[in-house]
Amino acid sequence: MDIETREELLSERKRRIFSLRSLVLVCLSVLVLYFLFRETDFNLLKKLFVSVKYHLLLLALLLYVCSNLLKAVRLRIILRDSTTRAVNYFIITGFHNFFNQILPARTGELTLIYYLNRYANVSKAQGLYSLLVVRIIDLVVVAVYFLVSFILFFWGRVTLSLALFAIAAVFFSVFILFMLPFCARIARKLFHWVFRPSSESSVLIRKVGHYFDSVYEGFTSASVDGALFLRLVAISILIWGALYSLFYVSIVAFGIEISYIQSIAGSTGAVLTNVLPVNGIGGFGSHEAGWTGGFMMAGLSKELALATAITSHLVIFISSASVALVSVVVRKYAHSESSE
């Protein structure tokens, strides 16, 4: 990457991180944390840390690594990339997951586009398409996990409207996924019809027109068909199986008895709040609020739900940082090996 491109990226990242929106969300996270910590039973939290089972924490880390490896495989499948080394995709997902954890307002999502371009030579348009596909399929799979766990755990108390809403969300997400190339084509045609960019147009019009052209080409070249969609859903089920197992292990590691189905039903609250662009730095505040609400709904007391929200967040954050650190080491080793 040349110096000019790197400086542009850094300036853009600083602009997003230090924007008024990010500042407001950080303040909101601090406010939420303040009210949550006011309700925290620190004696209970101390007991949880005293009774921690370290071998289960190691298992949680291995589950996180497993999910990271599966995410790397999923990206290669989406991009149909058989030339870039698999280790590069592990590095990409490791960095992306970590920055998605620490950067506010979901700005860490955009690092996937940057790292795909840097380590896999993927165009920004294809990187954007890959990001959208990943998030839409994640929404489909999480909705299915939530619906199934909710029915199994709250059997007899699930309303028809809730079930229909979850099913509608799944079908709508699948519809949007297959419509992405069509939407890109319509947006490109509409822009060209309205502004008619040419060599005589302003610099801004030409740049925006070029952007729409590149997005359309990227979306159509990496479009998802039926067979590919089924493969992506299958591997995404494994990814979320590993992540939900991580959530479960991060609870029982601190001596709390809970069923696996109950942990899926409760932790989905945190998953859904983390999808929204309202998280502060490190996700602190939004994770605790979603996790506490989800597990209170799943039958845990407010004190225990809040305590597990804090411990689980620490486990997830440390796991993400550990994988990112390993990615740094692997990248340096791979770079030195290719230089010889």
Query: Look-up: residue for tokens 């954890």?
Result: 101
Q: State whether the Cα torsion 271-276-277-278 is positive or negative.
A: negative
pLDDT tens, 76-113?
Answer: 999 888 889 989 999 999 999 999 888 876 778 889 99
Residue 321 lies in a domain: yes
Owning domain of residue 258: 24-339
pLDDT tens, 227-240?
Answer: 888 899 899 999 99
pLDDT of the residue at 2:
44
Backbone phi and psi for residue 28, each to the nearest 5 degrees, phi listed first: -65, -40
Residue 19 lies in a domain: no
pLDDT of the residue at 221:
65
Residue 324 lies in a domain: yes
Specify whether the CB–CB gap between 98 and 81 falls below 8 A. Answer: no
Q: How many domains does the chain have?
A: 1
pLDDT tens, 172-187?
Answer: 777 777 777 778 788 8
Residue 5 lies in a domain: no
pLDDT tens, 280-324?
Answer: 666 677 788 888 888 988 888 888 998 999 999 999 999 999 999
Q: pLDDT band at residue 1, thresholds of 50, 70 and 90? A: very low
CA dist., res. 105 & res. 82, Å (int): 33
**Quick check: 214 pLDDT over 50?**
yes
Residue 60 lies in a domain: yes
Q: Residue 51: count other Cβ atoms within 10 Å of its Cβ.
A: 11
Residue 210 lies in a domain: yes
Residue 6 lies in a domain: no
Percent of the chain with pLDDT over 90: 32
Residue 11 lies in a domain: no
pTM value is 0.80
